[in-house]
Amino acid sequence: MTITEKQSSSRLETKLRERTAKVVVVGLGYVGLPLAVEVARAGLKVTGLEISERKVQLVSAGHSDIDDISDETLAPFVKSGKLSASLDPAVLKDADCVAICVPTPLSKTKDPDVSFILNAVGRVEEHVHKDMLVVLESTTYPGTTEELIRPKLEASGMKVGVDFYLAFSPERVDPGNPKWGTRNTPRIVGGTTPACTRVAAAFYGLFLDCVVPVSSTQAAEMVKLLENTFRSVNIGLVNEVALMCDRLNLDVWEIIEAAATKPFGFMPFYPGPGLGGHCIPIDPHYLSWKLKSLNYYARFIELAGDINSHMPEYVVDRIARALNEDSKSIKGANIVVLGVAYKRDISDVRESPSLDVIRLLQVRGARVTYADPHVPSVKMDDTTMHATPLSDNLLKSADSVVILTDHTAFDYAHICATAPMVMDCRNATKNVPKGSGRVWKL
């Protein structure tokens, strides 16, 4: 590291140590808002830069639309002036540290859509200045920070690692997790240069319990993709095991529970109606796409994606077979779906397999209603479905009740005892005494 690098980085690090650094978080979604709250909790002043006027108004009033951040948590920071929200990119001109937390979806052809990142970087580019730290948190393919962001910011004439600092630090948010949140989940940090890594680590070290530096932005980008590819592949494996057990007339849940008693060499994963959320169904395809450009076919990723994406069809087939046992057709059947969020006890419906199951049931002529205490309404293509309160009349009138999200608010023993038939895709009824009703399991 040159003397210039040492002097420059020390000026920013002094601000960080003194907690006088001003922070801008670009994007106040499920990643950005919790991050901004932790920054404010550490005593730094933070502004959330948004493109949504509704979001700015909501946050400015001390209200949160994120499951993991309550109004009671957010409001004091807003009231004290430590946390604010703005639509004006000019807030970047006074920022010492900028964290970019914007969505990275896939296109219809499963190619990475980095338009949100490029839009955010374009805003930063207009205001990048000496001693600014810029960190990308959005999940993306290895090379994004170096190949897309660095050239844009260096177009100002400043040099990365000397005049400004650039790093990648992948978000590790698990919505609804009561044990691991933004602050206590170890954070990976990889800079474009050693100085960038050190400054970024100093920034995150102010408000996170554990920071883990790696050698480069590419390494940090790959870490996140490995984490979610690991989950996607193992869920794909156990979903295929569920298909096998169906043909072998075995209870896949019993098999997994027994295998999990092994104290080494086995980690339990569980089958379900498909993958949901922003990360696991999407992130592995970023890696697969990148490798295709290097003439490498990611076989595990593609196979797991194929198995997981077809689980909603398998669920509908199981429902049809169960109805057939009662001499009923899926066409015209009254189906009550329990849970449309993609996981337990949250309101997030992004990529939720429940929506795919509902669409497939409707295509086959079923009359579908849903109950979900966390999701009062959900957009289904060109229409909006509204949740129906879960009542005995609703349960009794159903030809099949399908558990797609195992919210803890549901009384599964009562559901099994009341509904004519239950299709359990989450093993939610595992503690319900046998003989409490007719239950089919995935």
Residues labelled as active-site residues: 279
Q: What are 351's two structure tokens?
A: 């990529």
Q: What are 104's two structure tokens?
A: 């990275």
* Nearest alpha carbon to residue 162 among 291, 303, 48, 4: 4
Q: Which residue type is seen at 385?
A: M
Q: Is the dihedral of CA 90, 93, 97, 98 positive or negative?
A: positive
Number of Cβ within a 10 Å radius of residue 181: 16
Distance between CA atoms of 126 and 93, rounded to whole angstroms?
8
3-class DSSP state of 136: strand
Give the largest CA-CA distance in the chain.
81
Distance between CA atoms of 294 and 281, rounded to whole angstroms?
22
Sheet containing 133-136: which strands, arranged edge to edge? 83-86, 45-49, 22-26, 97-100, 133-136, 165-168, 187-191, 211-214
The strand pairing partners of 166, in sequence order, are: 134
For residues 187 and 169, is the Cβ–Cβ distance under 8 A? yes
Q: Which residue type is seen at 144?
A: T
Q: What are 395's two structure tokens?
A: 């349960």
Q: Which residue type is seen at 275?
A: L
By CB neighbour count within 10 A (0-12 exposed, 13-18 middle, 19+ buried), where does 410 fall?
Answer: buried
Residue with tokens 């006088």: 20
The strand pairing partners of 209, in sequence order, are: none
* 390 half-sphere exposure, CB direction, 13 A CA radius: 24
Residues sharing a CB contact under 8 Å with residue 178, sequence separation 6 or more, in sequence order: none
Distance between CA atoms of 114 and 92, rounded to whole angstroms?
21
